[in-house]
Amino acid sequence: MPLDDIEIFKGFIETSFIDWRAGLSSVLFTGGCNFRCPFCHNGPIVEDPDMWSTIPMDYVIKKLTEQKKWVERVVICGGEPTIHPELPDVLRALKGLGVMIKLDTNGSNPAMICSLAKEGLIDYVAMDVKGPLEGYSRWCGTEVDTEKVADSISFLLKGGAPCEFRMTVVPRLHAEEDVYEVVRYLGPAAAFTVQDFRPEATVLDPDFADIAPFPADVMESIRKNVRRISASPIETER
């Protein structure tokens, strides 16, 4: 597909120090998502991506080329990037610039994740695991094919791509045991990040704006317990 015809990006942060721990990165946000997680903090571009202006691909390529000397990493997030069939064409164009690419995904499209990894179009994957797979739709706000989520996890755990897994812990929605169940499911080989819930911009379910995050001491206790369950590294919220 010609790059001029690709209209998937609804946001562009030219430089970020927090979206890829490996170093300075640019961040591109795709519009739309096949999940409706009530705690999503990017809800505005999920709920109605057509309300947001499209970032033209020629502009993206121009800016990334201009700053290539100091920004060599690009994060693709959303929304959910893998719902867009044009994504491989986009990543081929970005790879042509010589950048490294990190994909943020909900894991609902294992076929695309596998294809991107095998073609060498992604250097790192951060997959959100919303909670234990049993009853997964509760966390996602819509019906979800958990077999596909499990397939993505399995592919990454078997070395399909360098990766980490992340879980946002939401009071009233998650119990502490939900976190530990996810850790046990992923196993000791998985790098796992426990993220704090952010009530701002939860437009997909405004009731969540009134939920206070777990206190810092509770989150620290959860992280300590995770360390005891798994020998893998655990990071604070990115």
Which domain does 96 fall in, by range? 3-235
Q: Which pLDDT score is estimated for 238? A: 37
The pLDDT tens digits for 54-109 are 999 999 999 999 998 899 999 999 889 999 999 999 999 999 999 999 999 999 99
Q: Which pLDDT score is estimated for 234? A: 44
The pLDDT tens digits for 146-178 are 999 999 999 999 999 999 999 999 998 999 999
Q: Which pTM does this prediction carry? A: 0.92
Q: Which pLDDT score is estimated for 32? A: 93
**CB contact set of 131 (below 8 Å; sequence gap of 6+):** 138, 139, 167, 173, 174, 178, 182
Q: Which pLDDT score is estimated for 237? A: 40
Q: Which pLDDT score is estimated for 2? A: 66
Q: Which pLDDT score is estimated for 236? A: 40
Which comes out higher in pLDDT, residue 206 or 134? Answer: 134
The pLDDT tens digits for 115-150 are 999 999 999 999 999 999 998 999 999 999 999 999
The domain that holds 11 is classified in CATH as 3.20.20.70
Q: Which pLDDT score is estimated for 43? A: 77
Query: Is the per-residue pLDDT at 235 higher than 60?
Result: no
Quote the number of domains for the chain. 1
Instruction: Read off the pLDDT of each residue in 184-196 and give the average, rounded to a whole number.
Output: 89
The pLDDT tens digits for 5-52 are 778 999 999 999 888 888 899 999 999 999 999 888 887 888 888 888
Q: Which pLDDT score is estimated for 39? A: 87
User: pLDDT band at residue 231, thresholds of 50, 70 and 90?
Assistant: low
